[in-house]
Amino acid sequence: MRLSRYFLPVLKETPSEAQIVSHRLMLRAGMIKQATAGIYSWLPLGYRVLRKIENIVHEEQARAGHLPMLMPTLQSADLWRESGRYDDYGQEMLRITDRHGRDMLYGPTNEELITDIFRSNVSSYKDLPLTLYQIQWKFRDEIRPRFGVMRGREFLMKDGYNFDLTKEDAMYAYDRHMVSYLRTYERMGLKAIPMRADSGPIGGDDTHEFLVLAETGESEVFYDADILNLTLGNRTVNYDDHAQCADIVREWTTPYARTDETHDAALFDQIPEARRRSSRGIEVGQIFYFGTKYSEAMGATVQGPDGQAVPVHMGSHGIGVSRLLGAIIEASHDDKGIIWPEGVTPFHCGIVNLKQGDEEADGACETLYSALTALGLDPLYDDRNERAGGKFATMDLIGLPWRITVGPRGLKNGVVELTCRRTGESEELPPQEAVKRVA
């Protein structure tokens, strides 16, 4: 992409309405624009990162064998009356009446809709197990929308639902979700800690929230510092192997890690003092096992091996796709701007031409641009006729992992400058070497 043809409306001033750094940086980097309270437009740069995050979620769900689909945002109130949640959900639900006077709502989550799809189409245990998911916009009329996309009213969520014959099978689905979520967050460069949590209005007993530690997080969390050392890294996970998934879950759920809702001070005090930590965290996902709560209320049964109809065991699983942008930036920035982890960066590498219009500099930039593009590396070429200082400030603000700076002086010696955004370190090297280094 050439910056002269891109739409990157960066702000020089720090927007006064933004209270936390991720919100400020997303506005300054021209990623989002508020349409009205808690509702945002995604400008090209923000949209690119959003899509990257979605892709990672899709890839990891595919690995786990979960099936993507898409449900509508608007739903009829009838199904929610069946489950009893139409009244329970309260003011967070945006209720709408259509021209015929029918009660509708903008889905805050989709247990009812998916259970209806299931009961209309599945009647035998032979069709189980089944896990369906979508990435779709949700609406919750949050009393205090704030922190930009972190607590929006309209927000993008991955929501998944498993249907199983027995509790044991459903716990296997639970384990698959925990493992696939750990991988998902790791690929985004995040440390998200699974913490025992409270199930709230979804209902049920088994639930973990995934929290990214950050001072600006809205949850209070308590954990054993040992959990910070755990990583999946590049170990191979076989999702068909329940024992392996269960082992990984055991590994991550053995060290103490709880949100304030389930915190147990007596248990916490048993951890050696040097490892006891309490801090703030951002909830970037949650998984639930809730058994037969919805299947019983809505008659989602299957015929078991003995011919008897039994309600299916279910769970649901969410990832805050749009909130993740904020969480990643909270976890990865400096005073100059965002520092994107490689997995989600909108562009892999920036090219800064120090003397636009100089034949040699322009030519070298074009060559670099083609070489990087050919390698599938998505360069962003700042080909505008602007001062070098302004170009550097923009690159630092939007936080691409690498910057290649090209100018007539370096080219005389056959070199360009390669700068790593995270470390700030620069080195001079021939253009082809710079391409190899960022690949």
CB of 283 to Mg ion, least distance (A): 5
Return the one option of Mg ion, ligand ATP, none that residue 372 interacts with (CB less than 5 to 8 A, by type).
none
Amino acid at 93: M
Return the one option of Mg ion, ligand ATP, none that residue 157 interacts with (CB less than 5 to 8 A, by type).
ligand ATP
CB of 332 to ligand ATP, least distance (A): 17
CB of 82 to ligand ATP, least distance (A): 20
Structure tokens at 423: 């470390």
* Cβ proximity to ligand ATP, 6 vs 89, nearer residue: 89
Return the one option of ligand ATP, Mg ion, none that residue 118 interacts with (CB less than 5 to 8 A, by type).
none
- 258 belongs to the binding site for ligand ATP (CB under 6 A): no
CB of 147 to ligand ATP, least distance (A): 9
* Cβ proximity to Mg ion, 3 vs 193, nearer residue: 193
CB of 261 to ligand ATP, least distance (A): 10
Burial 205-239 (b: 16+ CB within 10 A, else e): ebbbbbbbbbebbebebbbbeebeebebeeeebeb
Pairing assessment for the beta strands 276-291 and 206-213 based on DSSP bridges: antiparallel
Q: What is the DSSP string of 117-132?
A: HHHHH--BGGG--EEE
Compute the CA torsion angle 385, 388, 391, 392 (nearest 10 deg): 170
- 142 belongs to the binding site for ligand ATP (CB under 6 A): yes
Q: What is the DSSP string of 148-214?
A: GGGB-SEEEEEEEEEEESSHHHHHHHHHHHHHHHHHHHHHTT--EEEEE---GGG--SEEEEEEEE-
Residues 148, 152, 337, 401: which binds ligand ATP (CB under 6 A)? 152
Rounded CA-CA distance 109/79 in Å is: 12
* Cβ proximity to Mg ion, 222 vs 402, nearer residue: 222
- 285 belongs to the binding site for ligand ATP (CB under 6 A): yes
Q: Which of 170, 173, 181, 148 is nearest to 319 (CA)?
A: 181
Question: Nearest 5°: phi and psi at 266?
Answer: -65, -40
Candidates 181-189, 273-281, 284-292, 423-431: pick the segment binding ligand ATP (CB under 6 A).
Answer: 284-292
- 107 belongs to the binding site for ligand ATP (CB under 6 A): no
Question: Nearest 5°: phi and psi at 297?
Answer: -65, -30
CB of 415 to ligand ATP, least distance (A): 45
Pairing assessment for the beta strands 349-353 and 402-406 based on DSSP bridges: parallel
- 284 belongs to the binding site for ligand ATP (CB under 6 A): yes
Return the one option of Mg ion, ligand ATP, none that residue 46 interacts with (CB less than 5 to 8 A, by type).
none
Show Cβ contacts of residue 371 under 8 Å, excluding neighbours closer than 6 positions. 431, 432, 435
The position carrying tokens 């449900």 is 71
Candidates 246-254, 265-273, 279-287, 303-311: pick the segment binding ligand ATP (CB under 6 A).
Answer: 279-287
- 157 belongs to the binding site for ligand ATP (CB under 6 A): yes
Of 237-296, which residues contact Mg ion (CB under 5 A)? 283, 286
CB of 190 to ligand ATP, least distance (A): 12
- 316 belongs to the binding site for Mg ion (CB under 5 A): no
- Look at residue 38 and give its three-state secondary structure: coil
Interaction pattern, residues 319-338, with ligand ATP; x per rule: CB under 6 A = -x-xx---------------
Do residues 380 and 433 lie in contact, with contact meaning Cβ atoms separated by under 8 Å?
no
* Cβ proximity to ligand ATP, 21 vs 284, nearer residue: 284
Candidates 28-36, 273-281, 298-306, 317-325: pick the segment binding ligand ATP (CB under 6 A).
Answer: 317-325
Vertex 257: Cα angle to 252 and 260 (nearest 5): 150
Candidates 127-135, 185-193, 278-286, 339-347: pick the segment binding ligand ATP (CB under 6 A).
Answer: 278-286
Vertex 58: Cα angle to 23 and 380 (nearest 5): 55
* Cβ proximity to ligand ATP, 159 vs 383, nearer residue: 159
Rounded CA-CA distance 429/245 in Å is: 45
Max alpha carbon distance in the chain (Å)?
Answer: 82
Residues contributing to the site for Mg ion (CB under 5 A): 283, 286
Residues contributing to the site for ligand ATP (CB under 6 A): 109, 140, 142, 151-152, 155, 157, 283-286, 318, 320, 322-323
